[in-house]
Chain A
Amino acid sequence: MKKKLLIGGAIILVAVAYLLYLSFGSSVSYYVTVSEFFDRGDELLDTSVRVAGIVADTSIEWNAEDLELTFTITEGGKNMPVVYNGAKPAGFKAGATILAEGKYGYDGIFNAVQLILKCPSKYESIDIE
Chain B
Amino acid sequence: MTETGHFALIITLPVAVFSIVTSIIGARLVSKRLAAAARYGILIIFGLYTLALAVILYAFLTHDYSLTIVAEHASNDLPSVYTLSALYADKAGSIFFWGWLISLFSVILVCQTRKNHRPAMSYTIAILAAIEAFYISLVTFSVNVFAEHPSPPADGFGMNPLLQNFGMLIHPPLLYIGFAGFAVIFAMVVAALITRSPGVVWDNLVRRWTVFAWFMLGIGNIVGMWWSYNELGWGGYWAWDPVENAGLMPWLLGTAFLHSMAALAPRNYLNTWSYCLITFTFVFVLMSPFITHGGIESPLHGFYLSPFPPYILAAMIVVIIGSMVLLCFRRRELKIEKKPASLLSRENAILLTNVILVVLVAVIFIGTALPGVVEALGGERIALDRGFFDRTCGPIMLALVFLMGVCPLFGWGKSLWKSAGRNITFFFLALVIISVAILVSGIGNWYIAVVVFCGLPLFIVFRELFRGTVARRRSTGRNCVRAFFSILNSNRARYGGFLVHIGIVLITLGIIASSFYGVEKTATLDIGESVRAGKYTLSYNELMFKQDNVKISAVAGVQASLNGKSVGTMRPSYAYWLSHDDFFAEVAVRTTAAEDLFVSLVWTDFSPEDKTATFRVLVNPLIVWIWAGGAFFLIGGVMAMTWEEKRSSVVKG
- A: residues with CB less than 8 A from B are 1, 4-5, 8-9, 12-13, 16, 19-20, 22-24, 26-32, 50, 62, 64-65, 67, 86-91, 93, 97, 99, 101, 116, 118-120, 122-129
1/0 per residue B515-528: CB within 8 Å of A? 00000001110000
Question: Would A26 and B614 be within 8 Å (CB), given that A9-B355, A31-B371 are in contact?
Answer: no
A–B Cβ pairs within 8 angstroms, 27 of them: A12-B359, A13-B359, A16-B362, A16-B392, A16-B396, A27-B385, A27-B387, A29-B382, A30-B380, A64-B614, A67-B522, A67-B523, A87-B522, A87-B603, A87-B614, A87-B616, A90-B602, A118-B299, A118-B302, A118-B303, A123-B580, A125-B90, A126-B302, A127-B304, A128-B88, A128-B94, A129-B172
> If A16-B363, A127-B301 touch, does A27 touch B391 (CB 8 Å cutoff)?
yes
Q: List which B265-302 residues lie within 8 A (CB) of chain A.
A: 288, 292, 298-302
CB <8 Å contact, B303 and A128? no
Docked pose: A35 CA to B89 CA in angstroms: 34
Q: Looking at the complex, which one of A23, A28, A93, A120 makes contact with B382 (CB distance below 8 Å)?
A: A28
Which one of A12, A19, A31, A129 has the greatest number of beta carbons of chain B within 10 Å? A129
Please classify the interface of chain A as helix (H, G, I), strand (E, B), loop, or mixed, using the class held by over half of its residues. Answer: mixed
A64 near B603 with CB under 8 A, answer: yes
Enumerate chain B residues within 8 angstroms of A4, measured Cβ to Cβ. Answer: 343
* B interface list, Cβ under 8 A from A: 72-73, 88-90, 94, 157, 159-160, 162-163, 168, 171-172, 175, 224, 233, 243-244, 246-247, 288, 292, 298-304, 339, 343, 348, 351-352, 355-356, 359, 362-363, 366, 371, 380-385, 387-388, 391-392, 395-396, 522-524, 580, 582-585, 602-603, 612, 614, 616
Residue from the set B244, B382, B580 with the largest chain A CB neighbour count within 10 Å: B382
**Complexed CA–CA distance, A50 and B233 (Å):** 23
Q: List residues of chain B with CB within 8 A of the CB of A122.
A: 72, 157, 304
CB–CB A19/B88 < 8 A = no
Contact: A123 with B355, CB < 8 Å?
no
Residue numbers in A under 8 Å from B233 (CB-CB):
90
Chain B residues, CB < 8 A from A97:
303
Is B582 touching A91 in the complex (CB atoms < 8 A)?
yes
Contact B288 A129 (CB under 8 A): yes
Given A20-B366, A27-B388, A87-B614, A123 contacting B160 (CB threshold 8 A): yes
What residues of chain A lie closer than 8 Å to B366, measured between beta carbons?
A: 20
- Which residue of the partner chain A has the closest CB to B386? A27
Question: Closest residue to B615 on the A side, CB-wise?
Answer: A87
Measured between alpha carbons, how far is A67 from B602 in the docked complex, in Å? 11
Residue in A5, A30, A88, A91 whose beta carbon sits within 8 Å of that of B381 in the complex: A30
